[in-house]
Chain A
């Protein structure tokens, strides 16, 4: 859907991007991950032409982005900023309606769409007449997301969208983000420096450094088949947690002790990641965890140590 081909960008003598190429498939979430100054934001802003590349081509649906008016291009691409960029002189309702207005939607259609978005993003109608400064940080970010989604653009660009939020709010929004149907259909490019966020939300990750893409792959590939020492080092500190996150309970199925009766109503689905599985021990008094594997129609009941043991078995296989 989006093709970035051999793109370079220089600011004066400074080379910000050095022959970057990648592709994003429809409905995929691509994360541009890296430290400050690695060129990830520059890359993102070239997609909606906030920055023009020095050389190289960018295509969306096989059409060159310079072949259409910028305003038309941009109205079809949602954009979410870290500092939300909400208009302080517009109400929540007006903020959400900006792009539909630019596209000259009628009032009724805007109203219906706004109502839909409020519900999906857990905002209430009471928020509509409020001004951004009257909202909490989390609410502002939700309004920012609603604004980006308002005109139903097929593509969403997100520049550190959750960077300004505290940890608790951020992980809550991460959960909602993953659960949102509307987002599952979007082609998303998201910039972040947060490795956890990248692994939680991304289908694919481009790890960048000094204007180059160091590795482009799935979270699992980055973790277990790092292209070089840089990738390994970049993930080193959080390696264990990331590994728990990239593996699902289904991945460990073969190493878990065999079935018991399906009698626990609070069973976890097998598509849950191992990290969440381990966490759930903390929240229940039970010493065991019931896991339900829908496809196989099997149920397993495991203890904490059994789960850890199965994970190490699984990891050993991956490493070879």
Chain B
């Protein structure tokens, strides 16, 4: 335990620069959106307190906005506002709106009618009534709303890293993808502390005596603006091209780290979720992205894979990995899963992915069509021989593979299948397998080597060129360390790849990663 803590501190110490930048971005995102929400929400709350007929409509709309899942809301924002800070701030702003409008409305309508009547009868006008009586008396309720909104925003702001807006989510989601607990904690702990800190500070403001509330009135906007400006403090340098990398890619040897060390590639980089990355590249929001070589959207969005001329991306051959005891418990399983071995090459997988990701056919239908076309389809079995639990990660290809395996098992054995699809990342999926929550899932040799085994550099250097060697190494290491078996590879190699829009790559004359590097170096004076 102590060792764990030690390494967490080490990690945080080593990454202090990034941690500080992310924390400042996080605070900035939280408070820019909060400031906007106060600027809009407060007057709106006052307005509906005056015209109460409007209150149910306005509160209803704000309530509906609140119920949209945060990821979905960020998704809606991309076509409208692109990626980066703008959509993140708008999404956070929309979340912060309801508590602020509602509490302003409740606070103002809650002011004693006799006090309001006295104020009016003494000859105060509407503005004096608002600023001298209603707002001061509603202040603690309004502050409670701002407090709620702040805590919500600190939490939701972690998701901003999905759309390249930065914040502590970069560590959290990077850590989940990379199976790196320290990285997760390095993001999660500061985020939790921020929430507690701001909640505490605002609770102090709320308890201020009525006398000091005037000061709070003046101080609040100033503090908000100051905190908001933090977002711009660590603004990265600009460059002609912008790269969008997934949090996983950012932290991997066979990702951004390798690009820097082996190629010396320096490019303005934002962190982004892979679900929106391709679209962002297609819409000129990003120029270079870290995709997967079999991704269907490659075809859909006209993207070109840059050749990895220095060979930093190790082979990522997909194969099912199964817990040993599951192979014993389900004797027919190995044979059934191996039915798929060698059946899908890169172009077939890209085609299948294209049908799911771009044509929006269901993974189940795509899987069934494939099996029928390859004469692997048979009637379903009895389903009485026990239940196999099957997992998959949270992207299209894994859904297709999961459906293929699920159908094969139902066709060729008497087992029934429960699928747990959409297990967040490598770490979540592998932990589920290792802790006997699932029996098997499709994994990639490169991921096994680097993210799960975290093999030393010497081993990686000796393996990366040769796909067979890699497969054999991970197979034997998994057997030894986890009692997990790698079955035969399916055939395709879904490796990491850098990709650009075909048109742009042609115009700039870029075909390989080295070309890209040279192009950037040639323009070095412009982005430094």
Contacts and interface: CB of A to CB of B under 8 A. Distances in A.
Interface stretch (A78-86, A235-243, A276-284): A78-86
Given A88-B137, A89-B210, A102 B123 contact: yes
A141 interface: no
A70 B112 CA distance: 22
Interface stretch (B113-121, B260-268, B308-316): B113-121
Contacts of B20: none
Contacts of A85: 112, 114-115, 117-119
Contacts of A65: none
B128 to A, nearest CB: 7
Interface in A80-134: 81, 83-89, 98-99, 102, 131
B191 to A, nearest CB: 36
Interface string A216-253: 00000000000000000000000000000000000000
B122 interface: yes
Nearest to A157: B121
Contacts of A79: 118, 121-122
Contact of A81 (B118, B123, B125, B133): B118
B417 interface: no
Contact of B114 (A48, A70, A83, A102): A83
A279 to B, nearest CB: 35
B124 interface: yes
A297 to B, nearest CB: 48
Q: Chain A's interface: helix, strand, loop or mixed, by majority?
A: mixed
Contacts, number: 57
Contacts of A99: 122-123
A179 interface: no
Interface in A55-89: 70-75, 77, 79, 81, 83-89
Nearest to A74: B123
Q: Chain B's interface: helix, strand, loop or mixed, by majority?
A: helix
A50 B120 contact: yes
A81 B118 CA distance: 7
Contact of B121 (A74, A86, A89): A74
Most chain A CB atoms below 10 A, which of B112, B118, B119, B120: B118
Given A75-B123, A89-B136, A99-B123, A131 B210 contact: yes
A250 to B, nearest CB: 40
A50 B123 contact: no
A283 to B, nearest CB: 38
20 contacts: A70-B123, A71-B124, A71-B125, A73-B123, A74-B120, A74-B121, A75-B123, A81-B114, A84-B114, A84-B118, A85-B112, A85-B117, A85-B118, A86-B118, A87-B118, A88-B137, A89-B137, A99-B122, A102-B122, A102-B123
A182 to B, nearest CB: 18
A78 to B, nearest CB: 9
Given A74-B120, A75-B122, A79-B121, 16 more contacts: A50-B121, A71-B123, A71-B125, A73-B123, A75-B123, A84-B114, A84-B118, A85-B118, A86-B118, A88-B115, A88-B210, A89-B136, A89-B137, A89-B211, A102-B122, A147-B122
B8 interface: no
Contact of A48 (B119, B121, B137, B213): B121
A81 B213 CA distance: 26
Contacts of A147: 122
A142 B266 CA distance: 77
A104 to B, nearest CB: 12
A132 B122 CA distance: 18
Contacts of A75: 122-123
A308 B55 CA distance: 66
Contacts of A77: 121
Nearest to B111: A88
B117 to A, nearest CB: 6
A48 B121 CA distance: 7
Contacts of A102: 122-124, 128
Interface in A22-67: 48, 50
